[in-house]
A and B are shown apart, each in its own frame.
Chain A
Amino acid sequence: MMEQPHSCCKGAEVLLNLQPTSSVSIQYHPFFGSHDDLVLLELDEKLLSDVLYQRVTLRGQPDEDAVLCTKSKTYSVKFVGTSNSVFLIPPADCSTSHESGGENYKQQVATASVIKVAPGNMELVEVAPRLDKLKSILSENLYSSDEASTAMGDLYKWDDLINKVQASDDELKAGLQALSAVEIDGYWRIVDEKYMDVILRMLLHNSVLNDWLLDSLVEDKVVSVLESDGFPRKLVYHCLNVYGSSVEEEAMGGGVWRLDARRVCVHFARGVLREGKRKMESFMEEWLRMIPEEMQPSFDMLEGEVLTEKIGVETWVRALSVSSLPTTPAERFSILFKERAKWEWKDLEPYIRDLNVPGLSSEALLLKYTRRSQPSIDAEPVFSAR
């Protein structure tokens, strides 16, 4: 219950603190009207403090449905109408309600004024961040080896991305990480795969030349050698980030890095398949030839990256990377079923593992977007389009 330092006989306070055997006159406010600029937003208690402490923003382009973002989550905003009459009563503006004189004193009837009849309220539903746009805008201008000579199209700084992409700050950062984007001169860029290939190969070549161990690469050495070979420093670090993980920092010589076998092997597999599908034997032969000696490639490293299909007696391999697929479930499943009409769970799982729909488990996703069939009792279940 609110303590009023002075007796306020008007507005929401009177209504909310109405004492037993008391009454209050409900009136139309002097400024009663449609007040389209006043909207009600319903939210979970846990979001309330984020809103009150100014930690949320609305994001979106004029042609998009607005989303509300906290630091780490994204919510769609929807209007829900009501057929009831919802009388909205503001607190009294007590500064104007006090007039001097006894005349007013004896007329002090409690009143509460209705400023507007609300047609409904806004509701929030947590949604996955809309990151497909991030990928498409950053792919407009890939950073390549001939960067200096390429025409400068639209480049995006962090603030530009916030304005264009409907995601919270944390989700945007995670999205940039997932795309292996790198910030160069303040602009977020995706580096062209062919250029990354050149840098990686140079790194591996130098490792052989200088007897570097691929699971303990000394950052400073790697960077200085590759820089003297003409690669921008930023990109050498980026290469280490994309294909490796940092190991415990050494006291001297800066960081130490370990190249990740899976990431390196996937990179070369994609390179082999860039021009199109290959017969399995031909693919394996070329792929194995490119892998550094110290690494043991295995075909299951390529789950979520390649598809195999039997054409006649031959097995063919072609590239299909989960990272190239849409992040929204409906579109993801649509493309997957175009690529292949029927999927066994073990093949399908890597391609939907990353799907994120708040409130929907992977079983629920399958139920919603696929048709499950089982040819016979002991056969593997098969998923196809609904």
Chain B
Amino acid sequence: MQIQVKCSCGAEKCPEWAIIELQGVVEVQPSFQHSLQNLQIGLLCRPSSQENYTFTVGYHELTGSKVALKKPMVVLKKIKYMDVATSSSSCVELDVVGVIRHKILFKTRPTALISGPQPTVKEKINAAGA
């Protein structure tokens, strides 16, 4: 069996995706679990001309930086379709829908912001990870 890896957007036009990576888990308050669409997770700021960033999630503030990935990644989308021609079972194709070369990485423990409204989304330190 052979699965073709395609790039239907074209190699030159393959868009760049982004990653924000942090240690820990973002939790949504139970009442908002089913209406996540467009819910804000947090605010990402770039305070100066350096590639340093802050990410405020609920009452936690994380600091991190934009880093180039040691090895690039591609985003693959699995496409299943019925092959009418051979009338056999479903065929699978992989389509490259994006390339990732950078991520914004937060490696440090968050600092707690003392004042601020009750968050609908909060960052929880993963006990095992931190």
Which A residues lie at the B interface, using CB under 8 A? Answer: 2, 12-13, 15-16, 18-32, 36-45, 48-49, 51-54, 56-62, 66, 68, 83-91, 112-114, 118, 121, 162-163
Contacts and interface: CB of A to CB of B under 8 A. Distances in A.
A121 B76 CA distance: 11
Contacts of A32: 36-37
Nearest to B121: A28
A51 B7 contact: yes
A91 B50 CA distance: 23
Interface of B: 1-7, 11, 14-26, 36-49, 53, 55, 66, 69, 71-79, 94, 96-100, 102, 104, 126, 128-129
15 contacts: A12-B18, A21-B48, A24-B43, A25-B44, A26-B43, A26-B55, A28-B39, A38-B77, A42-B72, A42-B73, A49-B11, A53-B11, A84-B24, A112-B44, A163-B1
Given A12-B98, A21-B46, A37-B79, 13 more contacts: A15-B18, A16-B16, A29-B37, A42-B69, A51-B74, A57-B5, A59-B2, A66-B3, A85-B22, A85-B25, A89-B17, A89-B18, A89-B19
Query: Residue among B75, B79, B96, B97 with the most chain A CB within 10 A?
Result: B75
B5 A54 contact: yes
Given A20-B46, A25-B43, A49-B11, A40 B75 contact: yes
Nearest to B79: A37
Nearest to A121: B73
Contacts of A48: 72, 74, 99
Contacts of A87: 19-22, 41
A2 B74 CA distance: 18
